[in-house]
A and B are shown apart, each in its own frame.
Chain A
Amino acid sequence: MTGTILLFACLICGSTGGEIAITYGMKSVGEPARLRPKPLLIFLGRALRSGWFWLGIPLMALSFYSLLLLLSWHPVSFVIPVSALSYVVGTLGAKYILGEDVSAARWIGVILVCAGVALVAAG
């Protein structure tokens, strides 16, 4: 039980923490000048030199391995609905860490998506 809770914490915090780090990195890199192969390659090159990117990758890997372990212990219809909590945790992170302005409409949308993913995986 304790192991399961710990793994869910790693799964949710790892994926949202990793994605927030990558978002932060990408925002500081700036958007590619045009969506053509060459500007995209230059953009990727700059992204790969960002420390935030390399902080995000191991966090996402941690979350991925937690997911694999959880799936070997419990059915998908339990693991995915619980992991859908990461939509709420991610939105909180976006608001308080990244300083994004999360409007009421966006909050309602996120909660609907969270409930929807839980239902799809449980059904």
Chain B
Amino acid sequence: MASTTSEVTKKVTEEVTEKKSLFNLNWVIGGSLLVLSIAMAARWYQGWAAWDYGLDSTHIDFQTYWMTLLYVEIAVFSILFIVSNVGLWMTRDRDLPNLDARTEISRYMKLIGMLFVYAFAFVFAGSFFAEQDAAWHQVVVRDTSFTPSHIIEFYGMFPMFICLGFASYIYAITRLPLFAKNVSIPLIIAVIGPMMVLPNVGYNEWGHAFWLMEEYFTVPLHYGFVFFGWSIMALGGILVQIMSRISVLMPTAFHLKADA
């Protein structure tokens, strides 16, 4: 969308009638700190328990220190996914056509905040712990699909960002008029694309089990991760849609008027 401010000639004034803030940044900061804390704790745990207890999956210590973590992760993220999305759906706004501009902007800000935390979580899943998986597998040949690197990356970080992404999607379609009326293709791509990385893990481990125990990182078996990893960039498309809508709402929400 090309535009130029030179075409805007009318003077604009703002009537300040409301002082209530449209958005509380504390939720974004808190959410980001929570994601960072989980990632740091996971990294610390790997440093402490991977070499001592994570090399032999048949050893009882592996069951204690790693498989227990796996079961906890599966339980926690499954429950979180169901509760958050069902909760968001059940509390949906059933009168979206009559949503006022200021509330709509406030909800867009909440959505952007959720996407912020989602993107931050994806950095750990797609960048930090992903390449760290190479650091592990170039030292240790896997004996099962459940390794210290996989248990954190595939069954910890991936479900975490999937929960965040899907919650963002349900929030958008149940609280924002435009996202309720039509399916935003960037939103679908940004949420479903990275989500598909988890099923792709199944394909990946199947390939490792039957053909390749350990190999270099750039084998075609891993290309599914590349393809679905691209889809996180659709966040940019969502932002463009949101910004376009907010710019239309701002005059109403902030009581702006063009002087004659």
Q: Do A and B come from one complex?
A: no
Instruction: List chain A positions with a Cβ less than 8 A from chain B.
Output: none
